[in-house]
Amino acid sequence: MRTLLILLLAFLSGCASTPALRGTGDLGIVIERASGRVAIVDTSAHSILARVDGLGDLSHASAVFSRDGRYAYVFGRDGGLTKVDLLLARIDRRVIQAGNSIGGAISQDGRLVVAQNYTPGGIKVFDAATLELLSEVPTGSKVVGLADLAGQRFGYALFDTGEIWLTDLTDPRHPRTRKFKAGQQPYDGLVTPNGRHYLAGLFGEDGIALLDTWQPEAGAKKILENYGKGEEKLPVFKMPHLRGWAVAGNRAYLPAIGRHEVLVVDTATWQEVGRIPVKGQPVFVMARPDGRQVWVNFAFPDNGWVQVIDTHTGQLVQTLQPGKAILHMEFTPRSEEVWLSARDDNTVSIYDTASFARKTTLAAESPSGIFFTSRAHRTGF
Amino acid sequence: MRTLLILLLAFLSGCASTPALRGTGDLGIVIERASGRVAIVDTSAHSILARVDGLGDLSHASAVFSRDGRYAYVFGRDGGLTKVDLLLARIDRRVIQAGNSIGGAISQDGRLVVAQNYTPGGIKVFDAATLELLSEVPTGSKVVGLADLAGQRFGYALFDTGEIWLTDLTDPRHPRTRKFKAGQQPYDGLVTPNGRHYLAGLFGEDGIALLDTWQPEAGAKKILENYGKGEEKLPVFKMPHLRGWAVAGNRAYLPAIGRHEVLVVDTATWQEVGRIPVKGQPVFVMARPDGRQVWVNFAFPDNGWVQVIDTHTGQLVQTLQPGKAILHMEFTPRSEEVWLSARDDNTVSIYDTASFARKTTLAAESPSGIFFTSRAHRTGF
């Protein structure tokens, strides 16, 4: 009898510890960069649900999500790839996949996670369920700007050899790669929201390389030849993140490099059509999902400011001071709120994007990247 | 001792029946219109997980989702509004809110569900958590084309009085409404994917009414004045659904009314720029989320066909016969697959959008609408 009771109690305690059922559409993570930890957040309740430790070096970390929204794949600077279970609030799997990594992406069908590496270079392809290594593509170069594309393809740029590569992982153990001449020292890349155009910023020359992935056979061409390092007059405190580039309607909003300006580009012609003066050197220039606003943060010493451009009027409509060292911004998918991390204030602030009122502030240790599960449903994130 | 055992066993059975934890990002529902039932589907596993009965008259039913992806709100023709728990596979709450209803929408923040009604007309506003009635806006007219907009607003059109109304539900118990002259007998409406333009098709005259919700004070204007009922040469077997309108890049693809054509419209000027001949009278003309393809189904007697337009070349690239009476199509959010319901074959077919291969077929009773939880993260759905 006693044994039976103990058994039953053991069962019961297992039962009691099962987390409550919940949807995953309003979950996300905040990287606590100094602590090797992520905070799991609830964007409906404006709360931190749990923390998960043991993710290694999370400086410059980024994340993608499984298509069911349950798992985050976190790419650490130290080459760690960690699959975090957001419902059980624990590490599901973790591998050290390279010596020095700066991010990754997830395939269109959600079955493959791909990491881009500085050291030893190349990309590595993992089974999203098990993190088993399926294949790798050596590049002989640092890889930057990895982005997922339609057809189980991935685009990325090679810093040392000046190329854009497109790798097709339809057969994930046998990657097929096409290579395109891009220009001197691509330092980051992105894909437009519709997944069509892959762009790589060039560090070694002025301009940006553009590849139309709907017709890659046409090759990459150079656009915005006055964009880049060449003509800068100001010291560059922090290279802008291209991944944050805002495309709203038929305009792209780009951080000028070294200048206190946001460039406005027509996405039909890829010609510059305007410049908007801002408070500092822009780092992230991000469109609200509906395209009505563009939010901008800045490099040191202006990294306590955030400015908002109304894309309808082309005017600055708001200047905010959300905290010290604003490192990242993430919009809720239907645009009503934006979350901002203030690293040196140890806070994450949530703003209403219509009234610009601060709704609440959450405590987080040196927060950097903020990533919501709605990214699972978007291309090039 | 016996009591304790019974208690423990009761606990255990409760425990055992708790469904396994899972993410909700890859869930959806298929309306089984003849059975008053929805099938809960898993878009990763290509499977039907469960069925939920008791939803009343589901002819012409539609659905929206809670922002966490856990609940579907199903609007039935009989005025029933049913909140379905996708994780527990059961009805969470259900109200009969009108005599005759044709759909609804969910607010930007996910807290309000709004139903549009034929009888007695007007819209009703419900708390998304409890389905408590918070307010209503009487219209003295059938309401059509309800769509959610930024700022807790909703746009809709009045069939009998020829107006477009914008209702602001920032204070959900005290709606504030602005009214705009639209034209004769608007019969359906939609909002463009960025949430900016509200369009209402007119039945009583040629043309479409367009309202820029970023500057509604400018009023509605008439566009496409050769579009509509006036010049039709063919009998109209089924009015097209405007809600399916495809906007891809700077082009909108519209079903011609009564003609075997898809109209191509420039969304900068709202002028017609082309027509693409198709196999029958189009009903749904839907863009793949990445905008690369537009899929078209047809009215009787051509409702066994589906055609695909490549938006890059403007050409038809595929003609398929997925089954008898194709009523609806739903794309996975990253575009790799489309699900098609074949009412008279009692099947749902899943196609690869790149190869056009049929991946699998699921059995469903008279399936009509298919809705995936990724809609929770989009505006105007």
In our burial notation (b when 16+ CB lie closer than 10 A, e otherwise), range B97-133 reads: bbeebbbbbbbbbbbbbbbbbbeebbbbbbebeebee
B221 touches chain A (CB under 8 A): no
pLDDT at A72 (0 to 100): 98
pLDDT at B243 (0 to 100): 73
pLDDT at A10 (0 to 100): 47
User: Which distant-in-sequence residues (6+ apart) come within 8 Å of A371 by Cβ?
Assistant: A28, A29, A31, A62, A63, A64, A65, A72, A330
Distance (Å, rounded) from C-alpha B325 to C-alpha B334? Answer: 26
Which residues are registered as beta bridge partners of A294? A287, A309
For B358, counting Cβ atoms within 10 Å of its Cβ (0-12 exposed, 13-18 middle, 19+ buried), the class is middle
pLDDT at A268 (0 to 100): 87
Query: Does pLDDT of A61 surpass 50?
Result: yes
Which residues are registered as beta bridge partners of B315? B310
Tell the residue number behind the tokens 């569900």, with chain if given.
B113
Pick from A18, A249, A376: CB nearest B25: A376
How is residue A220 written in tokens?
């990459």
Site from A21, A214, A250 to mutate, B interface, most B CB atoms within 10 angstroms? A21
Radius of gyration of chain A from its Cα atoms, rounded to whole angstroms: 21
How is residue A354 written in tokens?
């219509």
Instruction: Compute φ and ψ for B129, nearest 5 degrees.
Output: -80, -45
Which residues from chain B sit within 8 angstroms of residue A70, using beta carbons? Answer: 21-23, 25
Window B:293-352, CB contacts with A under 8 Å: 312, 333-336
* Average pLDDT of the segment spanning B269-289: 94
pLDDT at B245 (0 to 100): 75
Cβ pair A379:B334 closer than 8 A: yes
Query: Does pLDDT of A309 surpass 80?
Result: yes
Which residues from chain A sit within 8 angstroms of residue B373, using beta carbons? Answer: 23, 25
Cis peptide preceding B301, ω within 30 of 0: yes
Residue B284: in which H helix or E strand, if any? strand B282-287
pLDDT at B5 (0 to 100): 53
Pick from B69, B110, B248: CB nearest A69: B69
With cut-offs at 50, 70 and 90, classify the pLDDT of residue A274: very high
In the DSSP assignment, the letter for residue A10 is H
pLDDT at B312 (0 to 100): 94
Window B:152-191, CB contacts with A under 8 Å: none
Model confidence over A180-237: pLDDT tens digits?
A: 999 999 988 999 988 999 999 888 888 899 999 999 999 999 998 877 655 555 565 6
Query: Does pLDDT of B216 surpass 70?
Result: yes
pLDDT at B235 (0 to 100): 59
Distance in Å, alpha carbon of B99 to nearest chain A alpha carbon = 31
Report the SS3 class of residue B285. Answer: strand
Size of interface A-B (CB pairs under 8 A): 175
| Residue B188 contacts residue B239 (beta carbons within 8 Å) | yes
Q: Looking at chain A, which residue has its C-alpha nearest residue B377? A: A333
Query: Does pLDDT of A238 surpass 70?
Result: no
Taking all residues of chain B, what is their mean pLDDT, rounded to a whole number? 91
Report the complex ipTM: 0.93
B19 touches chain A (CB under 8 A): yes
Please give the order of strands across the beta sheet that includes B163-168: B143-149, B153-158, B163-168, B176-181
* Average pLDDT of the segment spanning A250-259: 88
Query: Does pLDDT of B29 surpass 50?
Result: yes
Model confidence over B228-263: pLDDT tens digits?
A: 655 545 555 666 777 767 888 789 998 888 889 999
Query: Does pLDDT of A16 surpass 50?
Result: no
In our burial notation (b when 16+ CB lie closer than 10 A, e otherwise), range A306-338 reads: bbbbebbeeebeeebebbebbbbbbbbbbbbbb
pLDDT at A197 (0 to 100): 94
pLDDT at A17 (0 to 100): 57
| Residue A321 contacts residue A304 (beta carbons within 8 Å) | yes
Least confident among A371-380, B127-136, B232-241: B232-241
pLDDT at B205 (0 to 100): 87
